[in-house]
């Protein structure tokens, strides 16, 4: 099949870009895949191009399937168009015209699409975030005398309270490692808080962590579970509200293995 994936931006390492990167890698094993987006200087583009994926900004070609994440880029000409909805936030609002099927990455998003946008229930499928289990896997942790907390994600206003919840707790026995592009969030840094913009080997840092933390149910929680690391899901408005995420391994793989996710998408 000739497939195009459309994403608002692939210029930084966050939820939607990483979703589409993982999806494109898997689909490219058997299909002719292009990704249309705004590109930055990171491994997303380099890795995909090494696999033969076409990384483009625009196209006039026709495709068998278009998988579109956000509404800011034009929908390419395709026999079937699927709109992926990544959250309930306004920035992820659905495309309402020219779509054959909508995909919600969790059940609460499906309910949101029905209630807020009036989309027919039978037009929406819940297909969970896919994780590359060959990349994210358990490793032997390094020897250390402190708890290592890894928090991947953009440094933005949405996560500001959450980040500072952890940085205030940081000490020599509880060290916090932040990885993500800066987008205006103010974070209190001290000698026990480590910050790096973006890294290419985040899978190694997650697998080596004692705790991984994120907001809502994001990719970081899924990647941590793939590495057999416990993680916490925080309420961004009140970070003291949280739950631990560590589901049954078989159930997790049935829902989130990227190989199974791509098959579900292609069956729509």
62-68 and 2-6 beta bridge pairing: parallel
Q: What is the pTM assigned to this prediction?
A: 0.92
**Burial grade of 192 (CB within 10 A; 0-12, 13-18, 19 or more):** middle
Alpha helices in 35-151 (DSSP H): 43-50, 107-117
Question: Does residue 71 carry a pLDDT above 90?
Answer: no
Structure tokens at 183: 């987008």
**Domain extent listing, the chain:** 2-127, 147-252
Question: Does residue 181 carry a pLDDT above 90?
Answer: yes
Half-sphere exposure of 234 (CA within 13 A, CB side): 21
CA distance 33 to 22: 12
Question: Does residue 189 carry a pLDDT above 90?
Answer: no
pLDDT in tens, 198-212: 899 999 999 999 999
CB atoms under 10 Å from CB of 238, counted, come to 11
Same CATH topology for 2-127 and 147-252: the answer is yes
Res 170: pLDDT: 98
pLDDT in tens, 128-140: 999 999 999 999 9
61 to 24, 34, 80, 190: CA distances (angstroms) = 18, 10, 14, 51
Spatial neighbors of 248 by CB under 8 A, at least 6 apart, are none
Res 50: pLDDT: 97
Question: Does residue 216 carry a pLDDT above 90?
Answer: no
The CATH number of domain 2-127 is 1.10.10: no
For the chain, give the mean pLDDT: 96
**pLDDT (mean) for 26-34:** 98
**pLDDT (mean) for 252-263:** 98
pLDDT in tens, 160-173: 999 999 999 999 99
| Domain with residues 147-252, CATH architecture | 3-Layer(aba) Sandwich (3.40)
């Amino acid at each position: 099949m000739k497939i195009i994936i459309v994403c608002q931006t692939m210029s930084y390492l966050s939820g939607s870009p990483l979703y589409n990167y993982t999806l494109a890698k898997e689909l490219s094993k058997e299909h002719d895949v292009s990704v249309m987006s705004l590109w930055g200087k990171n491994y997303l583009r380099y890795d995909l191009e090494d696999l033969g994926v076409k990384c483009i900004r625009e196209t006039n070609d026709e495709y068998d399937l278009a998988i579109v994440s956000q509404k800011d880029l034009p929908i390419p000409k395709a026999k079937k168009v699927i709109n992926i909805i990544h959250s309930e936030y306004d920035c992820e609002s659905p495309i309402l015209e020219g779509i054959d099927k909508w995909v919600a990455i969790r059940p609460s998003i499906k309910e949101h699409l029905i209630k807020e946008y009036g989309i027919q229930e039978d037009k929406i499928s819940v297909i969970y975030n896919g994780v590359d289990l060959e990349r994210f896997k358990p490793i032997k942790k390094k020897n250390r005398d402190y708890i290592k907390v890894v928090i991947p994600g953009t440094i933005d206003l949405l996560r500001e309270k959450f980040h500072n919840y952890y940085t205030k707790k940081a000490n020599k026995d509880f060290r916090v490692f932040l990885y993500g592009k800066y987008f205006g969030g103010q974070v209190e840094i001290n000698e026990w808080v480590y910050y790096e913009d973006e890294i290419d080997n985040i899978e190694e840092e997650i697998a080596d962590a004692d705790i991984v933390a994120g907001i809502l149910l994001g990719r970081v929680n899924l990647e941590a579970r793939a590495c057999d690391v416990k993680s916490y899901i925080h309420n961004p408005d009140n970070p003291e509200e949280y739950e631990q995420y560590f589901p049954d391994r078989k159930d997790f793989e049935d829902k989130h293995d990227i190989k199974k996710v791509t098959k579900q998408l292609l069956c729509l």
